Amino acid sequence: MCVNKCSVIAVVNNGVIQKLNPNPENPKSRSMVCARGNAGLQQVYDPSRLKRPLIRVGARGEGKWRPASWDEAFDFAAQKLSAVKEKYGPQGTLWSSTESFQEVFFQNLAQAFGSPNLVRHPSLCLASVNLAYSTTFGTVPSFDLQNARYIIMSGANRMEALAMPDSVDLIDSVSDKKARLIYLDPRFTVTASKADEWYPIRPGTDLAFILAMLNVIIGENRHDKEFVNTYCSGFDKLAEHVKPFTPDWAEAETEIPAKDIVRMAREFADAGHRAVYYAGRRSSWYQDDFQMRRGQAILNAIVGNWDRLGGMVPNAKVALGEYLFLPWDDPKAPRVDEVEKNFPLANKGDGSYLKLRENVLAGTPYPVKAWMIHKQDPVNSLPDQAKTLRMIEQMDFVGVIDIQMSDTAWFADVIFPESTYLERQDPIEVMSGIWPVVVYRQPVIKPLHDTKPTLDIAQGLAKRLNLSQYFDYTIEQWVEAQAKELPLQMPLEHLKKHGVYVPPGSPKYGTTLNSEHRFVTKSGKIDLYSERLQEAGYDPLPVYRQPAQPPPGRFRLILGRKAYFTHGNTTNNPWLNAFAPENHLWLHPSSADALNISDGDKIEVASNVGTVRLKARVTQEIRPDCVFMLHGFGKRSKWQRLVAGVGAADTQLLETAWDKVSGNAAMHETFVKVRKV
Amino acid sequence: MAHKQKRYALLIDSRKCIDCKSCVVACRAENGVPLAYSRNWINEEHRGAWPKLQAAFEPEQCHHCTDPACVRVCPTGASRQRPDGIVVVDDADCVGCRYCIIACPYDARFFREDRGVVEKCDLCAHRVDRGEVPACVETCPSKARVFGDLNDANGKLRDVLAKRNYRVKKPEAGTGPQIYYLL
Amino acid sequence: MKTIEWGFLIINYLFLGGLSAGLLFVSALATLIQKNAETDYTRIGRYGAMLAPWPVMLGCLLLVFDMGHWYRFYKLFLHFRWLSPMSIGSWLLMAFSSVSVVYFYSWLEAEQRERLFSLLPRRLRFLHFLNRDLTAWRRPLALFGLPLAISVGIYTGVLLGAVQSRPFWNTNLVAQMFLFSALSTGCAALILGLLWKSKELQAGEIRSLYLLDICFLFLEFFIVLPYVIHGQLSVQAVRDSLQLILGGPFTFVFWVFFLGCGLLLPLAIELWETVPALLSNATNHYGKQLAALSALLVLGGGFLLRYVFVFAGQMSSFK
């Protein structure tokens, strides 16, 4: 029901799933199941689920479908894809997906087909923070919140945007007063209510705060000198760089009092190895986000919390076997988002979704005319919905693999209904982290409807695309090959019985803290100063640029989460929808008064790319210069009856912008007008 | 050795409650409660003036009181208290007069229109009898809830209650509620 | 989740139960007081007896259909739980109904009995053995009926008053308040009954009923007053609950309609009709319209008292 994929044990009576209980053996999911996990069975028994393949009749978006056999659906899709390949080359097809345990088969199909254009969700989410940390440390670490003693978070509303085990560990550490939490957020979220200190920081100024922290810590010589000397590179340049960023200067930028910045810097440094500046997960905020996260990484580095108890720990993994399938040739054409050229340091496999869309709309560097989508809802999830719809219009073919009639499926030409996670066998997965675990997902009931797992769908398409030789295996064979490498007597039996395999020996701290270890960075050490960035033409040390402020009469639209929804795909789940049947625009009372808006009034919200209407929620729990709305409402798909046309879609308002270095979407750069209607 | 009578109770650390609603959905799934009703709920309190704001969340359900008014007023005895303290409703004997709903100081009970009987949290007695904990306790991400036996001198409840200050809700109603909220 | 569980079915039942209790009480009182066969009280006794069983039976029907499982009502009689006012009440109503029906029967004239039994179908003719003159039973039944009527009148108040979680109800005055209101509605119903049946008002009857009702209304008034005054001097929860009638949604209904029109106005009318005559020792001609008016006002007041209490009580709670 979300990316965490907590382990559950299904209680099944007479072939009907009654309940999903937590599997206490998975250390990552910390023996719990949240509201979404509990509501998982509603996904299976959803009467408006996709139950059989559908082919569009009528115009795209009209919602007229006819049921089709799998053969017909496969034939249709394959014929369309082949036609596009014929005319535009395999690169004329776009394959977008969001992480799932069967995503690998979709991606393999795309690659076997010869298309370089695979795009996933990271450039809508965490591409900037991941790139920032890997640029600094050579890898993206996890945070040991269970043992940290001083935690600073910019946004990262962990108590509503549940990420495991971070959320559970944070709640535990903070509520039992083991750790002190400093939380910066323009919104008074649940995390703010539990934090020791909350600052309604001016949006986009977190880097100023971080630079001032560095200024104080380095200026007062409170950093971990031994660690810096042994493991870091470029400290002198850093020390020089942060000299001008005084707490007073930062106060003017951030609205956080200078004396508090000084105090927090000292407290942070004093907590030493157990002080962390939490990286956050979704970092799709501002166009300068990468540099802010770099600042965080540097701050973490100089207090020496790397690979230590209570600090940042590189992820431990478990080696799985691989099923050796026939390899295909690498695609010949370059990616349509020209990621090497536009974002040379970004992860090439993930690309930049928004840049990709721009190029596809412009038809450069070449046309893309077919779009296959797996477990993703670009129409509801990409900023600037109007552009996504135009992109669909340009397509000769749109095919969707999904469980429910998403907004994107609503505009597709053919829909392949996938079996839900409770109805299918998935590949074994490793969840890396401080407590790595191997998870095994087996079906607990037979598929309720005429649905198939993505592997079967890929195989069905492959057959008609003459790619069968790359998919000539069953899921069982795949899984068996994976399981063989596990250090167990009878690995599959163990996994079937326990659902997980927990390798012994975790958590491990300090595995990289030795002279032999070479960090995967330009210097071989932790790059405080990054030559790699400099060579690519970016600031090697974070340079603060004042973020644009909303013009008078406008507000910055910011986004966030609620603990009982997973982005956009659970708002139609009746058990979860009951908690928030519609979304509202949060407005500070002073802002609302100025516009003569009362709580519950219908209002119109307009940005440069769209206008929506929804109700106002007048609350003190947000900065006066910001507004907020929850994601996943105002849907177009009429099959999602609870949220179709209810509330409003934030993506209709969000403007296209991206972080300069990573190409990650920048979703907090939209300024909106609000008026009462 | 004499088998000591168990007395079950709930301990809740509201500081840990993040209003994630996991307990509400878990209860719904475990007990087949239709959407129109809820056996448990989260009370919220928002206080303060910008920028000094506070928010607090407090889970609540039937308190399984020591002197339950709902049991006392029931004309047929359908509403009864087990020896282990769990207050239950025997559907077969409930006539649906709803006197108990009115008598409860916590508004923990509700009337099932579709079944013509009164319903409420029963601490997942069916799970407890199997040696498990109530669904809400098991599922909570914050581990804000502790379920145990008050009569167990070495048990978790007594251990925590000895170390921490706590309060109960509406003690002035005089029913002897048994959800202990840690302070 | 706070809900209003008891509504108009229960309000009507409480009113009708109280009405029957009042009718039986006044009839029994009249029966017990009269020395010889032909006095002013005979008609009061008879009419009260004739009317008493029916309102409560209708009320019980409403009660049963208010239940979630109406066909399980018999379960109430499989248990006797003396701590549950509802359990005690069920048994009381059973007893009251039985006694009031026999009492009714004892007041039937011979021809009325004959007519009644002639309606029996042939199969049930064997029941003719019940066709007996029970006149002699009147006084013992009245004696037995008096405490039963008081119990039923009080119990409707206890039903509410015993609920500790509803501060609006949980006072020791509620039982008496409902009792005297019930007895007063009984008087009022009898006044209407007499008006209906006869062209002329018999001065003696009306005077007795008026005087009785004045007593009941005074008693009721001097219970309502301390209920409000002492409630306002009580703990927070009680004071908060009283806000429902001191500025809250039931303020107007309580003070203007219930207390004003339903209690003080009929009290004034009745005082006006009786006191001057009492003081000057003259014979009075009692106005029919005024009698009807005061009776209707009392009945309305009795209903509204229960209306306000049932709703307001369920809206009150400990914070």
Asked if B75's CB is within 8 angstroms of C79's CB, the reply is yes
Residue B152 contacts A where some CB pair is shorter than 8 Å: no
> For residue A419, is it within any domain?
yes
The span from the CA of A519 to the CA of A508, in Å, is: 17
Does one domain contain both A520 and A494?
Answer: no
Residues A179 and A97 in one domain: no
- Residue pair C184/C216 in contact by the 8 Å Cβ criterion: yes
CATH classification at residue A672: 2.40.40.20
Q: Which of B182, B161, B139, B153 is nearest to A176 (CA)?
A: B182
Hey, of A6, A16, A33, A590, which one would you mutate to test binding to chain B, going by the most B CBs within 10 A of its CB? A33
Query: A37 vs B22: CB contact, 8 Å cut-off?
Result: yes
CA distance B32 to chain A (A): 9
Q: Is residue A328 part of a domain?
A: no
Please tell me the predicted confidence (pLDDT) of residue C233. 95
Residue B46 lies in a domain: yes
B20:A563 CB<8 A: yes
Domain that holds residue B72: 8-182
pLDDT value for C109: 86
E strand or H helix that includes residue A312: strand A312-313
Mean residue pLDDT across chain B:
96
Pick among C11, C63, C86 to test the B interface (most B CBs inside 10 A)? C86
Q: How far is A168 from chain B (nearest CA, A)?
A: 6
Q: Which two tokens stand for residue B28?
A: 């719904």
Three-state SS annotation for chain C? CCCCCCCHHHHHHHHHHHHHHHHHHHHHHHHHHCCCCCCCHHHHHHHHHHHCHHHHHHHHHHHHHHCCCHHHHHHHHCCCCCCCHHHHHHHHHHHHHHHHHHHHHHCCCHHHHHHHHHCCCHHHHHHHHHCCCCHHHHHHHHHHHHHHHHHHHHHHHHHHHCCCCCCCCCCCCHHHHHHHHHHHHHHHHHHHHHHHHCCCCCHHHHHHHHHHHHHHHHHHHHHHHHHHHHHHCCCHHHHHHHCCCCCCCCHHHHHHHHHHHHHHHHHHHHHHHHHHHHHHCCCCCCCHHHHHHHHHHHHHHHHHHHHHHHHHHHHCCCC
The answer to whether residue B182 neighbours chain A at the CB level (below 8 Å) is no
CA A342 to chain CA centroid, nearest Å: 21
Pick from A152-161, A358-367, A566-575, C188-197: least confident: C188-197
Return the residue in B19, B20, B27, B145 with the most chain A beta carbons within 10 A, the one to mutate for interface testing: B20
Question: A656: phi > 0 → left, psi -120 to 50 → alpha, else beta; which?
Answer: beta
CA distance B2 to chain C (A): 32
Please check whether residue B112 touches C, CB under 8 A: yes
Q: Where are the beta strands (DSSP E) in A493-541?
A: 500-501, 526-527
Enclosing H/E stretch for A672: strand A671-676
Please give the Cα distance from A299 to A312 (Å, whole number): 12
| Same domain? A420 vs A474 | yes
Task: Answer yes or no: CATH 3.40.50.720 is held by domain C8-315.
Answer: no
Per the CB < 8 A criterion, the answer to whether A379 and A406 are in contact is yes
Distance from CA of B19 to the nearest CA of A (A): 8
Decide if B174 touches C, using CB distance below 8 A.
yes
Q: Averaged over B125-143, what is the pLDDT?
A: 97
The predicted model scores a pTM of 0.94
Tell me: the pLDDT tens digits for A82-95?
999 999 999 999 99
Q: Is residue A637 part of a domain?
A: yes
Label residue C121 exposed, middle or buried (CB < 10 Å: 0-12, 13-18, 19+).
Answer: exposed
Question: A251-254 — which CB contacts under 8 Å span 24+ positions?
Answer: A253/A202, A253/A205, A253/A208, A253/A209, A253/A544, A253/A546, A254/A199, A254/A201, A254/A202, A254/A205, A254/A206, A254/A208, A254/A209
Q: Does residue B93 sit within a domain?
A: yes
Is B120 within 8 Å of B89 (Cβ atoms)? yes
Name chain A contacts of B143, Cβ cutoff 8 Å.
Answer: 32, 168, 172
Q: What's the number of domains chain A is made of?
A: 3
A29 inside domain: no
Q: Enumerate the residues of chain C whose CB falls inside 8 A of the CB of residue B175.
A: 164-165
User: In chain B, positions 56-75, which contact chain A (CB-CB < 8 Å)?
Assistant: 56-57
Identify the band that residue A460 occupies on the pLDDT scale cut at 50, 70 and 90: very high
Task: Residue window 264-303, chain A: list those with CB within 8 Å of chain B.
Answer: none
DSSP for A87-141, please give it.
HH-GGGEEEEE---TTHHHHHHHHHHHT---EE-SGGGTTHHHHHHHHHHHSS--
Rounded Cα gap, residues A145 and A152, in angstroms: 11
Under 8 Å CB pairs connecting chains B and C tally to 104
For position A627, what pLDDT does the model report?
A: 98
Chain B neighbours (≥3 Cβ pairs under 8 A) are A, C
The structural domain count of chain B equals 1
Q: Say if residue A658 is in the same domain as residue A577.
A: yes
Residue B1 lies in a domain: no
Token representation of residue C43: 């008609």
C14 min Cα distance to partner chain B (Å): 14
- CA distances, C278 to each of B144, C191, C209, C294 (Å): 74, 19, 14, 19
Distance from CA of B24 to the nearest CA of C (A): 14
- Residue A409 CA: distances (Å) to CA of A106, A372, A612, C304: 17, 10, 22, 59
Residue A610 shares a structural domain with residue A487 = no
Higher pLDDT pick, A428 / C274:
A428
Is A208 found in the same domain as A158? yes
CB distance A573 to A584 below 8 Å: no
Q: For position A149, which CATH number holds?
A: 3.40.228.10
Q: Which secondary-structure segment (H or E) carries A266?
A: helix A258-271
Which chains, if any, share at least 3 CB pairs under 8 A with chain A? B
Residue of A nearest to B28 (CA): A575
Interface test with B, best of C63, C66, C164, C174 (most B CBs within 10 A): C164
Bridge partners of A401, per DSSP, are A374, A416
- Taking only the tens of pLDDT, chain C with its 319 residues reads 788 999 999 999 999 999 999 999 999 999 988 876 666 678 889 999 999 999 999 999 999 989 988 888 899 999 999 999 999 999 999 999 999 999 999 998 888 888 888 888 888 777 787 788 888 888 999 999 999 999 999 999 999 999 999 999 999 899 999 999 999 999 999 999 988 887 666 778 888 899 999 999 999 999 999 999 999 999 999 999 999 999 999 999 999 999 999 999 999 999 998 888 878 876 677 888 899 999 999 999 999 999 999 999 999 999 8
Is C86–B97 a contact, with Cβ atoms under 8 angstroms apart? yes
Q: Is the pLDDT of residue B145 over 80?
A: yes
Element (H, E) at A586: strand A584-587
Per-residue pLDDT, A619: 97
**Together in a domain, A417 and A365:** yes
Do residues C153 and C297 lie in contact, with contact meaning Cβ atoms separated by under 8 Å?
no
- On chain A, the residues whose CB falls within 8 A of the CB of B21 are 35, 563-564, 576, 579
Taking the Cβ of residue B183 and every Cβ of chain C, the question of whether any pair is shorter than 8 Å is answered with: no
Q: Closest Cα of chain A to B105: distance in Å?
A: 25
Q: Do A575 and B140 touch (CB under 8 A)?
A: no
* pLDDT at position B1 over 60: no
Distance CA A136, CA A121 (A): 22
Contact criterion met (CB below 8 Å) for A298 and A238: yes
What tens digit of pLDDT does each residue of A594-625 get? 999 999 999 999 999 999 999 999 999 999 99
- Within 8 A of A200 by CB-CB distance, chain B residues are 51
Q: For position A140, what pLDDT does the model report?
A: 97
Beta bridge partners of B48: B53
| ipTM exceeds 0.90 | yes
Domain span holding position A195: 142-313+510-535
A198, A576, A620 member nearest B49 (Cβ): A620
Cα of B21 to nearest chain A Cα, Å: 6
Residues A279, A381: one domain?
A: no
CB C26 within 8 A of CB C44: yes
Contact B142 A564 (CB under 8 A): no
Are A427 and A481 in a shared domain? Answer: yes
Half-sphere exposure of C217 (CA within 13 A, CB side): 30
CB atoms within 10 A of CB B153: 10
Query: What pLDDT, on a 0 to 100 scale, did the predictor assign at position C203?
Result: 78
Quote the DSSP letter at residue A419.
P
Q: Rounded to whole angstroms, what are the CA distances from A171 to A3, A167, A625? A: 19, 6, 29
Q: With an 8 Å Cβ cutoff, is B90 touching chain C? A: no
Q: Which residue has the higher pLDDT, A349 or A411?
A: A411
Residue A543 lies in a domain: no
Chain-centroid distance of CA A415 in Å reads 24
- B178 assigned to some structural domain: yes
Q: Is B61 within 8 Å of B108 (Cβ atoms)?
A: yes
Within-domain flag for B2: no
